[in-house]
């Protein structure tokens, strides 16, 4: 069964198929007359189960399902509006929902929740974010956006900025960029991780890169030198909700402010550089950047619809 639990759930060959299909869907735009029949028959119902807040991920999954002719059921506040409040376990709930729906999209605050759900589900489970763990479908749409901007370039330099300890989108995308493959989708030469010491990227990511031909650096300061040497600047907000006491003290202070991508800083970046952000943003990405042609975060979010349509078709074994 085609679950999507982490960045490893799809091989580069799978992603190639999905991205080719995504490009076709994006070119067609929102054309219900051509896309409504894509599921032709079963599976048809998506259950969207969200234990944590979401705008883009939930609505783009639901819109994607409706636009390819499927139907959607679900709860956007599973902790309060489902039997979880009566003490039902995630596993019991998933077992039951799998009898009602053909695909389950799950966002949960516990790391490993999607994997546990998949272990008891008789229908595909898609991880829409599990705590500080992973957010694979965001990474796929991020990679799609990078490839769209740099279809052929060798040796891309990627800079991640912000809360790299708890930012699950960074974890999944870094995994995708670093992993070894005989069919690489993207050529990355350097990854720079910029964050304060308390929110550094877990060391396993640096170890993973060491085994590949990818150099890494870890910086505490976001300087003009950093933007000058970046093809992709991927900024993120502080994940305050996940911080412990001491971390809260740091992040409530000036974390986002300290890692702000100011127009001045962006001024040092090459013209072809792109600025990405999974959104929602806080002070780290001021609205003044929106008018800069290098800003790609709204297009990145828009790509989510097309990538998720293709992912839904992939788990349904239609592509």
Contact footprint for ligand NCD (CB under 6 A) = 56-57, 129, 135, 138, 168-169, 237, 278-279
Q: Where are the alpha helices (DSSP H) in the chain?
A: 12-28, 32-35, 56-67, 78-81, 90-100, 113-120, 136-149, 168-178, 203-210, 224-228, 245-253, 255-258, 263-266, 297-315
Shortest Cβ 271–ligand NCD spacing (Å): 27
Cβ 265 to ligand NCD, closest distance in Å? 20
Look up 294 and say whether it is catalytic: no
Residue 29: CB minimum distance to ligand NCD, A? 22
Q: Coil, strand, or helix at residue 243?
A: coil
Q: Which of 3, 58, 107, 157 is catalytic?
A: 107
For ligand NCD, the closer of residues 138 and 216 by Cβ is 138
Spatial strand order in the sheet of 232-235: 215-219, 188-194, 156-161, 232-235, 274-276
* Residue 231 or 284 with smaller CB distance to ligand NCD: 284
**Comparison of 159 and 169: residue with beta carbon closer to ligand NCD:** 169
- Helix-, strand-, coil-residue percentages of the chain, each rounded to 5: 45, 15, 40
Nearer to ligand NCD, 75 or 187 (CB): 75
Nearest distance, CB of residue 241 and ligand NCD, angstroms: 9
Catalytic residue check, 75 = no
- 27 catalytic residue (yes or no): no
Active-site residue, from 58, 135, 175, 308: 135
- Is 107 labeled as catalytic in the residue annotation? yes
- Give strand pairing partners of 295: 275
Give the 3-state DSSP-derived string for 135-179, with helices as H, strands as E and coil as C. Answer: CHHHHHHHHHHHHHHCCCCCCEEEEEECCCCCCHHHHHHHHHHHC
Active site residue 190: no
Active site amino acids? 56-57, 86, 107, 135
């Amino acid at each position: 069964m085609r679950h999507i639990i982490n960045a490893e759930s799809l091989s580069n060959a799978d992603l190639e198929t999905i991205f080719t299909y995504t490009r076709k869907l994006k070119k067609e735009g929102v054309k219900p007359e051509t896309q409504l029949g894509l599921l032709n028959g079963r599976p048809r119902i998506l259950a969207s189960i969200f234990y944590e807040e979401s705008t883009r991920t939930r609505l783009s999954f639901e819109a994607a399902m409706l636009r390819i002719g499927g139907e959607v059921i679900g709860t956007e506040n599973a902790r309060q509006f489902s039997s979880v409040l009566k003490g039902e376990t995630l596993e019991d709930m998933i077992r039951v929902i799998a009898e009602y729906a053909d695909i389950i999209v799950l966002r949960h605050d516990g790391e490993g929740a999607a994997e546990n759900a998949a272990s008891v589900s008789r229908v595909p489970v898609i991880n829409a974010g599990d705590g500080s763990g992973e957010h694979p479908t965001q990474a796929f749409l991020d990679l799609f956006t990078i490839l769209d901007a740099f279809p052929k370039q060798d040796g891309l330099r990627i800079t991640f900025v912000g809360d790299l300890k708890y930012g699950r989108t960074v974890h999944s995308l870094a995994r995708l960029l670093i992993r070894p493959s005989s069919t690489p989708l993207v050529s990355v030469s350097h990854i720079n991780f910029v964050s304060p010491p308390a929110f550094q990227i877990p060391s396993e990511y640096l170890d993973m890169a060491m085994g590949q031909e990818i150099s890494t650096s870890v910086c505490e300061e976001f300087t003009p030198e950093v933007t000058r040497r970046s093809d992709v600047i991927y900024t993120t907000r502080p994940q305050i909700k996940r911080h412990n006491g001491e971390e809260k003290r740091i992040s409530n202070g000036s974390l986002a402010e300290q890692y702000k991508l100011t127009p001045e800083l962006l001024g040092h970046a090459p013209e072809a550089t792109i600025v990405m952000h999974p959104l929602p943003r806080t002070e780290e990405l001021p609205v003044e950047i929106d008018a800069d042609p290098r800003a790609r975060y709204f297009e990145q979010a828009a790509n989510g619809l097309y990538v998720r349509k293709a992912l839904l078709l992939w788990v349904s074994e239609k592509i």
